[in-house]
Structure 1
């Protein structure tokens, strides 16, 4: 599954579509859709900007 398809899967999951419906449309398994979902969560965590420090550096 290419990155554009993965992004579309994540968007559709966020909109509440079922894993099964998405898997059928992409002609793949629910497990693949679950892996895309987990990979998307991981990438979002790594894409976050670091929090500003609220204390003085020593």
Structure 2
């Protein structure tokens, strides 16, 4: 899926959830979407290789 389509869908979804006063749902959905894109692939493997004290 194109990046612009994803961003547009996230903005529209966040707007609709916000209008329905479901702020908690909007934040959860946004966090899930961001977590999938940033921790997918290489970032997850890099974090797995870190020593335990460096993980925080």
Structure richer in helix, relative to its length: 2
Q: Do the structures match in fold with TM over 0.5?
A: no
Name the TM-score, length of structure 1 as normaliser. 0.38
Name the TM-score, length of structure 2 as normaliser. 0.39
More relative contact order, 1 or 2 (CA 8 Å, 6+ apart): 1
